[in-house]
Amino acid sequence: MKFWDFLAKGKIELAYGALWSYSPWGTSPTERRSRDYRYYLKNEQTVKYGDKEMFMSEVVGQAILESKATLPFMGLFGDNPVLVPVTRSSLFQPNSLWVGLKVATAMRKVGLGTSVSTSLVRTRAVGTKASAEEHYDSQRVEQKLLTDPENILLVDDIVTRGATMIASL
């Protein structure tokens, strides 16, 4: 039985957290702002945050740091985790944008992790509607972590259905 089968049957619990919710539809200011944030993040745009211009990935790290006393998922960080960005659905091309890596690096920069490890690698591209099993079969662990961390935290930019995240466990 695979991990997601246990998860679907309620035999294990998957803890996760999200800084913001993404709303692909709707016309309220909050829903429109969520689409703006997604655009800024996916395109690594700079935005004004406080009195600074920052990349949106850096805003994510800074926002988590500044809100950590009130965020319900801060327990997931444990004692300085190793941050592992979740793979993209497509194959990584040199000099292309890997938003999860940008977010993980920004989180590390503000002290939300000990290091960033790109040990998960996509071996073949999958479609946007791929199942957790298809995602699992299309990636591998390329390198072992240099240390034996007590806590590993998977980092993704946008979680829609969770298939990539589940497959990365």
33-69 pLDDT, tens per residue? 999 999 999 999 999 999 999 999 999 999 999 998 8
Say whether pLDDT at 23 is over 80: yes
Domain boundaries, the chain: 17-168
Of residues 80, 95, 90, 48, the one with CA closest to residue 153: 80
d(CA 18, CA 125): 25
Residues whose CB is less than 8 angstroms from the CB of residue 36 and which lie 6 or more positions away in sequence, other chains included: none
20-24, 91-95, 138-142, 144-148: least confidently modelled range:
144-148
For the chain, give the mean pLDDT: 86
Give 127's pLDDT tier (boundaries 50, 70, 90): confident
Q: What does the alpha-carbon distance between residue 164 and residue 75 come to, in Å, rounded to a whole number? A: 22
CB-neighbour burial class of residue 41 (10 A; exposed 0-12, middle 13-18, buried 19+): buried
Distance CA 31, CA 96 (A): 28
Mean pLDDT lowest among 4-8, 55-59, 132-136: 4-8
pLDDT at position 45: 96
Average pLDDT of the residues in 26-32: 92
DSSP-assigned states of every residue in 140-162: EE-S--SS--S-EEEE-S--SSS
Helix 99-109 to helix 29-42 angle, to the nearest 10 degrees? 90
CA distance 149 to 153: 10
